[in-house]
Chain A
Amino acid sequence: MNNIVYLLVQLLVILLVAPFVNGLIKKVKALSQKRKGASVFQMYFDLYKLVKKKTVVSNVSSWIFHVTPYIVFATAMAAALLVPVSTKILPPQIPGDFIMVVSILALGRFFLMIAALDTASTFGGMGSSREAMISALIEPSILISMFTVALISRSTSLPQIMETVQKVGIPLAHPVYIMVGLALLIIILAETCRIPVDDPATHLELTMVHEAMILEYSGRHLALLEYGAAVKQLVFMTLFVNILIPQDQLIGVIGLGALILSLLIYLLKVILLALVMGIIEVNTVKLKLFSIPNLAALSFILAFLGVLQFLILGGKHV
């Protein structure tokens, strides 16, 4: 029973909120440009429109091209199930930890990269090679930063980690978590293809990373890829907010009321983070492609400093 409720809550929350986050970030950018901008719910309409549209597939492509959208979406959803949105409803056991989250997402990314090569179009290969470079650089820092919190809570399981940080109070007041938080923020920007790493709004194929890989997709395939990217983005944001701003301990009780309250708080935290991401995007510009390693290195160093601080200061009572 508990498992089914957990699955339902995870699926519903992630699926419903993911497109809204994109709309919110776009709204922040629009407001900075003195535009009204599209409604924050625009992406729902876009997805609906894409699903209705005909899917055009190049006749030189193979089965990889066809299955990739489903794999990308499925892996994103699978990862979403491993990252609890609320600690008020946890199943007795989730098979899988954050290492699995990273691996599952890597599987989706792998298929996306080979699908981009599959059509042999001009830009797909460029997108793939850049994506491979960026992900190879950013994945170590995801693991290191997550290992830091795993060391503190003595478990790599995400529900366990989230339970532990409930007892910390205000994690962001502690240097270990500050380091991890900054590293995670850079990771989120890189993983979700946002400025300064990639520009989701650009029309210039030569500069694209993620967009270049999905250029050949249309209709419902494109809808799945876009949705998958939005879900992945929310997974990373959930990771960030539930580890660094855990406020579930404020609601002492367990039950439906507490669950709804904690979900509302979760939503508020996600909105806050989306606004911060929007503001970062407004104030930065796209880095030179060859400067991205510097950004990834910065993220890695921050995560590593987190580990060192844990080793020196100890993390038991933080």
Chain B
Amino acid sequence: MTSNLKGNLESKFALKVFSGKEFSETAFPLATNQVNINSQTTLASDKDNSQHVSFSDHDDKFWQEQDNVYYLEAPLAKVKEICCYIQELGCPLVLMFANDERNFQAGYAVYYVFAVREEGMLVVIKTKADPESMEIPSISNHLHAASGYEREIQDLFGLVPIGHPDAKRLVFHGNWPQGVYPLRKDFAVGQKPDFAQEKIRFQEVVGEGVYEIPVGPVHAGIIEPGHFRFSVAGEPIINLEAQLYYVHKGIEKLAEGQSLEKCLFIAERISGDETFANSLAYCQAIEKIAGTKVPARAAYTRVLFAELERLTSHLGDLGGICLDAGYGFANFQFQMMRGWAYSVADELCGMRFLRSVNKLGGVRKDFVSGKEAKLIELLLNIRSELEDTVNIVKSNSMFIDRVENTGILEPKIAVDLNAVGPGGRASGIRYDVRKAFPYAAYPNLNFKVPEHNNGDINCRMNTKIEESFEAIDLMIQAIEGMPVGKVCEPIAEVKPYRFAFGLTEAPRGENIHWVMTGENNTLYRYKIRTPSFCNWPALCHAVKGNIVPDFPLINKSFNLSYAGNDL
């Protein structure tokens, strides 16, 4: 499909598809020093110019490794058509973000990222928003997945998506004033805007006997804040609207201008239970830009930690599902195993939440050496207990009755919303970043990706159970196959205005980070998209038609992160 897509895009839209190398030269002329290209030149005519640029070997290597990312610049008027075309080819929109590029170009750039998952390739379409009108054409009516991104861009950059079906605010609530856009470069970090008072509008459902149930933002139990507005007729749910972003911390803004090392700590704190997946995605992006090859031992160590995080997360989710169904015994079994998994983490690095493990260019130290036998013993112990527990849980027909056919996420909706991770895989989406965009030592290890189709709680639960077993096997493989050698390759100084993607499969699914470096080893732009951003709308669809008391169970089967979504 790759060649097809490239060829078609070239012929159909008269656009040239090329790798990030050429794109970087043309789109960011200041960055590729000495070369003076008029920023207004259309890309198609830049072919000649690019040949004049002399790149060091180092740079060539960098762009070669980025070969799976194709950038192309399109005029604003054609964006909608191109996006629809790519979508029709079966490539989902996985990310969309804006960037304030007024420093080196006139105006704001909007990036549309599509994934060609079968080929392990990303297609990025960049367009420039009109700096006068600050408008972009909305593609949400054709690509449903774009809806959230466009609202996010509107709140953070002030770019108005024209034609958006419901362009209400997403990131900011009624207390943030209109017209203040924090991700613009002229908004200073720490600036406190005036307190505004605006009423939040929810979608209204009217009809006889229809009423609204407001739940949250403060909930019983130790969970993060989020407001859920149910429209119900008796017990069945007609519509659910989630008002999130109560824990918006401005992480993307905080990261701008920070040194690359310091930003790693920010990445680790995006979402408490996805620490490693986020820091790994960040490290991979920076390592790509710096052209650093991570030592093999570090790559294996990273697999070990990433799978450990998946195991703890999944065990917690499984316990949570059981607890919400009133199955106390099974909950405590899973929580106990989760505790064991955390003690494996403690054994490895002295830190249960896996912070300060990753380092740009590898991992901080040799965590595994000398502990191999002990670790494998602990893991096998978890495995045998997990087998027993799963057998008991699956033979409890009352419990299975509870989870089967509840909270069905239709495969069609899952595709339209780009549902990722176990939530997507349970609805028939055969996609795992570890297979499609292999990273760390995953290409050398054997594992299966669970396949389920029904999209109900039972499928999501089985997906997580199977992934837990795979995670334990992967960890054992990684420990046994770990080559000797150093664990960190220091990264060289990075050039400014270079950019790269970092993709990882977090416990909740596909995790995409896009990093653009600034001057003096700092960050210019850090776009984070955690799997929760994609799956929250999916959750809202999955509960429709179910009854109110089943919502906690459905919610827990997705177990989405508020912090990771709100950023």
Residues of A bordering B, CB below 8 Å: 29, 32-35, 122, 126, 129, 195-196, 199, 201-207, 281-291
Contact = CB atoms under 8 A, between A and B. Distances in A.
B327 A288 contact: no
B328 A206 contact: no
Given A122-B214, A288-B402, A204 B328 contact: no
Nearest to B330: A285
A286 B325 contact: yes
A218 to B, nearest CB: 15
Given A285-B326, A287-B398, 6 more contacts: A126-B548, A205-B220, A282-B329, A286-B327, A289-B549, A290-B547
26 contacts: A29-B328, A32-B328, A33-B329, A35-B332, A122-B213, A129-B234, A196-B326, A196-B398, A202-B324, A202-B326, A205-B215, A206-B549, A207-B549, A207-B552, A282-B328, A283-B329, A283-B396, A285-B322, A285-B325, A285-B396, A285-B398, A286-B325, A286-B327, A287-B398, A288-B401, A289-B549
Interface string B184-228: 000000000000000000000000000001110000110000000
Given A34-B336, A285-B398, A289-B235, A207 B324 contact: yes
Interface of B: 213-215, 220-221, 234-235, 322, 324-329, 331-332, 336, 396, 398-399, 401-402, 406, 547-552
Which of A29, A33, A35, A204 gathers the greatest number of chain B CB atoms within 10 Å? Answer: A204
Contacts of B329: 32-33, 282-283
A16 to B, nearest CB: 28
Contacts of B220: 203-205
Contacts of A34: 332, 336
A201 B549 contact: no
Contacts of A282: 328-329
A33 B328 contact: yes
Nearest to B335: A33
A178 B550 CA distance: 34
Nearest to B336: A34
Contacts, number: 73
Contacts of A204: 220-221, 324, 552
Contacts of B327: 285-286
Contacts of B552: 204, 206-207
A288 B547 contact: yes
B390 to A, nearest CB: 15
Contacts of B215: 122, 205-206
Nearest to B223: A203
B332 to A, nearest CB: 4
Contacts of B549: 206-207, 288-289
B401 A195 contact: no
Contacts of B332: 33-35
Contact of B235 (A195, A284, A290): A290
A286 B402 contact: yes
Q: Give 3 nearest A-B pairs by CB, closest first.
A: A286-B326, A33-B332, A203-B220
B386 to A, nearest CB: 15
Nearest to B236: A290
Given A33-B328, A34-B332, A205-B215, A289 B221 contact: no
A178 to B, nearest CB: 22
Contacts of B399: 285
Contacts of A35: 332
Which of A195, A199, A205, A206 gathers the greatest number of chain B CB atoms within 10 Å? Answer: A206
A201 to B, nearest CB: 7
B331 to A, nearest CB: 8
Which of A122, A129, A201, A288 gathers the greatest number of chain B CB atoms within 10 Å? Answer: A288
B461 to A, nearest CB: 13
A207 B324 CA distance: 9
Given A32-B329, A285-B326, A285-B399, A126 B213 contact: yes
Contacts of B398: 196, 284-285, 287
Contacts of B324: 202, 204, 207
A206 B396 contact: no
B325 A206 contact: no
Contacts of A291: 401
A282 B328 CA distance: 7
Which of B326, B329, B406, B550 gathers the greatest number of chain A CB atoms within 10 Å? Answer: B326
A7 B163 CA distance: 76
Contacts of B221: 203-204
Nearest to A33: B332
A291 B235 CA distance: 13
Which of B215, B327, B406 gathers the greatest number of chain A CB atoms within 10 Å? Answer: B327
Given A203-B220, A204-B221, A287 B214 contact: no
A106 to B, nearest CB: 23
Which of A126, A196, A203, A283 gathers the greatest number of chain B CB atoms within 10 Å? Answer: A203
A287 B551 contact: no
A273 B509 CA distance: 47
Given A288-B402, A291-B401, A201 B328 contact: yes
A192 B363 CA distance: 55
Nearest to B234: A129
A29 B401 CA distance: 22
